[in-house]
């Protein structure tokens, strides 16, 4: 099968090579004795793959390896116990191996997708939407009627978080850095859009009538203190990532002054060791799709052999929704 391998840790421009490799076998390390073999139509591209081309991600398989954590495609074979059938259209989280014509994913991370979603949207569904639900609802305890501020709101996690938060009955304030990204956040359904280079903290306090209930933060960096200041009493900041490049530090006196919580949300760390939680999240996402709240925003699309451009788009802060590789 055709696949993309990371052959050297030289960054997005040069690390990837198109290769011809055997299809994943039954002894695949991610799914010993079980799992779902998927004919891949689209592969989702995310920050971790950018980091992997430099050897900077926490998962460091021996070289060479096929990256790609999630795909949209058609079930070819089901190994072990599963309600899925060959021919089902699915979104599958394979962790590695997704930048290829055939991938294998654990059964508990493979979900049927409705006909209304195309394969590219399927490839946008698991990492971002499951993270958004996990971070907003299970970790952040977002409740109907609350207001949530979402950083990096035109990116993959950001657009997903807008839609999940809206589906949970919250009001959303999106923080973005450009006019083009403001349009993307609006298309995702944001109620309000503010600019990260403007007075976003004051605007958020005003728009929410005294401070937001929750901040969802995939960006980190030096805006973190203003995120704390944008909260009302007993507000929560949910920490999701650090695309801004630096890990913020909190002076913890700020937390007791207004009964503030800072909450970590590491989706993979939680769900990989707890398969039933995936079913709970999958069912919640299905309900939000059926209710018309989730319609993944696919941004730039590239053929498999232009994956370097896909990675450079993310690396250069250019993602407009989910970046996707069209595999077949
Ligand atoms: N905790 C978890 O379980 C979990 C799960 C999935 C992803 N993540 C993490 O969440 C983060 C976001 O992922 P994503 O897929 O949404 O990424 P993305 O689509 O590339 O979006 C990231 C956003 O971050 C903002 N940003 C601010 N400063 C940036 C910079 N210097 N370089 C790049 N972007 C910058 C950009 O928005 P503006 O230009 O508008 O500021 C961009 O839209 C990543 O760190 C990822 O690893 C965490």
- CA 306 to ligand 1 center in whole angstroms: 21
Going from the Cα of 155 to the center of ligand 1, the distance in angstroms, rounded, reads: 6
Average pLDDT (197-221) is 98
Q: Does the pLDDT value for residue 231 go beyond 60?
A: yes
User: CA–CA distance from 126 to each of 18, 35, 111, 132 (Å)?
Assistant: 25, 16, 9, 10
Higher pLDDT, 172 or 34: 172
Can you say how many angstroms the Cα of residue 199 is from the centroid of all Cα atoms in its chain? 27
Lowest mean pLDDT among 77-81, 224-228, 269-273: 77-81
Spatial CB neighbours of 196, under 8 Å, sequence gap ≥ 6:
151, 175, 176, 177, 223
Give the pLDDT band (50/70/90) at residue 293: very high
Of the pLDDT bands very low, low, confident and very high (cuts 50, 70, 90), residue 266 is very high
At residue 73 the predicted structure's pLDDT band, cuts being 50, 70 and 90, is: very high
Looking at domain 128-269, what is its CATH homologous superfamily?
NAD(P)-binding Rossmann-like Domain (3.40.50.720)
* pLDDT for res 31: 56
Quick check: CB of 268 below 6 Å from ligand 1?
yes
pLDDT of residue 295: 97
Count of all residues that appear for the chain in the document:
328
Residue 272: half-sphere exposure toward Cβ, Cα within 13 Å: 11
Quick check: 48 pLDDT over 60? yes
CA–centroid distance, residue 245 to ligand 1 (Å) = 10
Residue 27 scores a pLDDT above 90: no
CA distance 35 to 61: 20
Choose one of 49, 95, 194, 219 to mutate for the ligand 1 pocket test, by most ligand atoms within 8 angstroms of C-beta: 219
Mean predicted confidence (pLDDT) in 5-32: 85
Residues whose CB is less than 8 angstroms from the CB of residue 194 and which lie 6 or more positions away in sequence, other chains included: 173, 174, 175, 176, 200, 203, 204, 207
Does CATH number 3.90.180.10 belong to domain 2-125+296-326?
A: yes
Under the banding of pLDDT at 50, 70 and 90, the label for residue 245 is: confident
Q: Residues 52-61: what's their mean pLDDT?
A: 93
- Position 128 scores a pLDDT of 97
Inform me whether the pLDDT recorded for 102 exceeds 60.
Answer: yes
How confident is the model over 180-201, as pLDDT tens digits?
999 999 999 999 999 999 999 9
Please check the confidence at residue 28 and state whether its pLDDT lies above 80. Answer: no
What was the pLDDT predicted at 79?
Answer: 86
pLDDT score at 26? 57
Q: Pocket of ligand 1, candidates 157, 195, 270: which has the most ligand atoms within 8 Å of its Cβ, to mutate?
A: 157
pTM (2 d.p.): 0.96
Mean pLDDT of 140-165: 98
User: Can you give the pLDDT at residue 25?
Assistant: 73
Read off the pLDDT of each residue in 95-120 and give the average, rounded to a whole number: 95
Q: Is the CB of 218 under 6 A from ligand 1?
A: yes
Return the domain boundaries, the chain. 2-125+296-326, 128-269
> Position of tokens 């083009």?
180
Res. 30: pLDDT tops 60: no
Gap from CA of 273 to ligand 1 centroid (Å): 24
Burial class (CB in 10 A: 0-12, 13-18, 19+), 214: buried
pLDDT at 34: 74
Residue 264 host element (H or E) = strand 261-264
Residue 242 CB–ligand 1 contact under 6 Å? yes
What mean pLDDT do residues 97-110 have? 95
Mean pLDDT for the stretch of residues 225-247:
96
Tell me: pLDDT of 82 over 90. no
Which residue's CA is the closest to the ligand 1 atom numbered 43? 155
Residue of 139, 198, 240, 243 to test ligand 1 pocket, by largest number of atoms within 8 Å of CB: 243
CA–centroid distance, 220 to ligand 1, in Å, is 9
Rounded to an integer, the average pLDDT of 158-173 is 98
Mean pLDDT score of the chain, rounded to an integer?
95
């Amino acid at each position: 099968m055709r696949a993309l391998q990371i052959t050297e840790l030289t960054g997005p421009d040069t690390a990837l090579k198109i290769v011809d490799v055997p299809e994943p076998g039954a002894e695949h390390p991610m799914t010993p004795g079980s799992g779902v073999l998927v004919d891949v139509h689209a592969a989702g591209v995310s920050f971790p793959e950018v980091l992997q081309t430099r050897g900077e991600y926490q998962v460091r398989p021996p070289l060479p390896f096929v990256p790609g954590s999630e795909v949209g495609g058609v079930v070819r074979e089901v190994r072990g116990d599963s309600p899925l059938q060959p021919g089902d259209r699915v979104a599958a989280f394979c962790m590695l191996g997704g930048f290829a014509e055939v991938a294998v994913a654990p059964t508990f991370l493979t979900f049927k997708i409705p006909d209304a979603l195309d394969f590219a949207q399927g490839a946008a569904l698991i990492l971002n939407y499951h993270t958004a639900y996990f971070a907003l609802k299970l970790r952040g305890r977002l409740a109907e009627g609350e207001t949530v501020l979402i950083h990096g709101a035109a990116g993959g996690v950001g657009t997903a978080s807008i839609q999940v938060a809206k589906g949970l009955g919250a009001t959303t304030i999106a923080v973005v850095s450009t006019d083009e990204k403001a349009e993307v956040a609006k298309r995702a359904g944001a109620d309000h859009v503010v600019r990260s280079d403007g007075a976003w903290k004051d605007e958020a306090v005003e728009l929410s009538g005294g401070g937001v209930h929750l901040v969802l933060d995939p960006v980190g960096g030096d805006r973190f203190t203003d995120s704390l200041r944008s909260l009302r009493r007993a507000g929560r900041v949910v920490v999701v990532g650090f695309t801004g490049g630096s890990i913020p530090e909190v002076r913890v006196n700020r937390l007791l002054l207004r009964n503030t919580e800072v909450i970590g949300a590491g989706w993979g760390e939680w769900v990989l060791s707890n398969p039933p939680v995936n079913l709970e999240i999958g069912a919640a996402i299905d309900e939000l799709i059926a209710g018309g709240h989730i319609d993944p925003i696919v941004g730039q699309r590239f053929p498999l052999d232009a994956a370097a451009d896909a990675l450079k788009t993310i690396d250069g802060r250019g993602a407009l929704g989910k970046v996707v590789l069209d595999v077949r």
